[in-house]
Amino acid sequence: MQKRKFIKEFLRSVSLGAIAPSELSSILFAINGASSDAVAAPDEKKPVGKPRPVDGRSTSSRRGESVIVIGAGIAGLAAANSLVREGYSVTVLESQSSVGGRLQTDRSLGVPFDRGASWIHGPNGNPLTTLASRAGAKTFETDDDNVVVYDLDGRAYSDDRISSAEDLYNDVLDRISDLGDIDDSFLDVFRKNYPGYLNDRLWKYMLSAFLEFNSGGDISKLSSLYFDDDENFSGDDVIITNGYDTIAKFLAKGILIVNNSRVVEVNYSDSEALVTVAGGAAYRASYVVVTVPLGVLKNNIIRFTPGLPLSKVKAVSRMGMGNVNKFLLMWDEVFWDDELQYIGVTPDSRGKFNYFLNVNKFSQSSKSLMTFAFGDYADVTERMSDRLVLDAIMGNLRAIYGNEIHNPRAMLRTSWRSDINSFGAYSFAANGTSSSDFDVMAESVGNRLFFAGEHTSRKYRGTVHGAYLSGVREANKISNL
């Protein structure tokens, strides 16, 4: 979520495959829903693709052409929808058992817990706003000013102190870009020019809750030049209150999706591309749209034959895959000020459970808070037991509300770095990176191989709308060939 005031108006088929009988149950094939406007949505009037074996022929597709989309996240679903509406035969190959990619909603505690994205950043003019309405997603408008920040002694900072600190923070960030260099991290420049702020707890809070949350990257790895080189839609951010997967499931209607199909190789050396999944099933298509997260590319999970262009390989290497972990905590009683939307704690360490979202504010009677781990500390939490995590979280809350408050009765948590389907939360501009690397990631290869995902969006990187728009962009490229 975009927390900095100076950028507050932002943030973040015919498949052609041999499908074994055992795989049939994993195919999601719905034909409900219709749409003909600019927001990609299911269209029941268009035939969806039918699978054909590797040596078969495509059927009733636009110009006989077929497309494989790798990944059923928001980018893949947006691309698939657009292409199906244009008459292409489209198959989506998805490694997980569900759709949505990093749009995952856990309802096991009776309240929707979005493990990945929660917000629509800047709803005005944002295509997700219309899409959310069509999908039946419910929203709650946030107010970044509805927050109280506490020191570790339980003392609340005055509004004037917070306001003046944020003004200074914004001035410093503007200066960082002027003082930085391509290979300098944000921390390098900050330490050199503002050493007195390094150990200030209010600065640690702002750098993590604002900057590291927004970027997903630790400031020791974040580019001093391009940490804020993106764009935004206007308006106060809104939270999806009934689960972000509502949008993903809506987009999945009318699309042939083969779940539990992890792609291991893409061979695009022939007139048709050959896509192989773990277990050996192979699929051919005229075009392939790769929408896997940057972390999957960085870990070489998919072998490309021939290898990707050197410019793209270097961009993958230079770019950063950040991490933000989320923790939903549920109690029997509310002990915090329930009128607040956010609660801040100035920490001893950056990124360490210093920002709380009052879930009870928009999910009535849930008696829940959500907190976060940012930057390098997010990685640390993935090696911590539940008990150690709770000890750290409750230490911050007891500093505010006293030692008498009890541990939560339940907790849900994420571990995005350890997730083999993403290896992190979202991309960021690392030191050594330029914003042009995001453009390189969006470049197609030989009019056969196309790339989408938030990491291919220079303007809207790290956001759901960036991923969505990138999928539409790649579908348009194919349609215009």
Q: Tell me the Ramachandran region of residue 74: left when phi exceeds 0, alpha when psi lies from -120 to 50, beta otherwise.
A: alpha
- Which fold does the domain 1-105+112-142+160-323+420-481 belong to in CATH? FAD/NAD(P)-binding domain (3.50.50)
Q: Could you tell me how far CA 305 lies from the centroid of its own chain?
A: 28
Beta bridge partners of 449: 288, 445
Residue 347, preceding peptide bond in cis (omega within 30° of 0): no
Rounded to an integer, what distance in angstroms lies between the CA atom of residue 98 and that of residue 441? 26
Phi, psi of 143 (to 5 degrees): -130, 105
Contacts of 404 (CB under 8 A, 6+ apart): none
Read off the pLDDT of each residue in 266-289 and give the average, rounded to a whole number: 97
Alpha-carbon distances, residue 89 vs 65, 188, 266, 277, 284 (angstroms): 7, 50, 18, 19, 12
Q: Report whether pLDDT(343) > 80.
A: yes
Q: Is the pLDDT of residue 339 over 50?
A: yes
User: 133 is written with which tokens?
Assistant: 């309405």
Predicted local distance difference test score (pLDDT) of residue 348: 85
pLDDT digits (tens, 9 = 90+) for 385-435: 999 999 999 999 999 999 999 999 999 999 999 999 999 999 999 999 999
Rg of the Cα atoms in the chain: 23
pLDDT at 42: 52
Residue 9 has pLDDT above 50, yes or no: no
If you average pLDDT over every residue of the chain, what do you get?
Answer: 89
Strands (E), 308-452: 320-321, 324-330, 342-345, 352-358, 368-374, 410-413, 427-428, 449-451
Distance CA 126, CA 90 (A): 26
Decide if pLDDT at 5 tops 80: no
Instruction: Give the pLDDT confidence score for residue 349 in this predicted structure.
Output: 86
Q: Is the confidence at residue 375, as pLDDT, over 50?
A: yes
Q: Which residues contact 391 (CB under 8 A, 6 or more apart)?
A: none
Q: What is the pTM of this model?
A: 0.88
DSSP 415: -
Tens of pLDDT, residues 98-115: 999 999 999 999 999 999
What pLDDT score was predicted for residue 40? 43
Rounded CA separation 124/151 (Å): 35
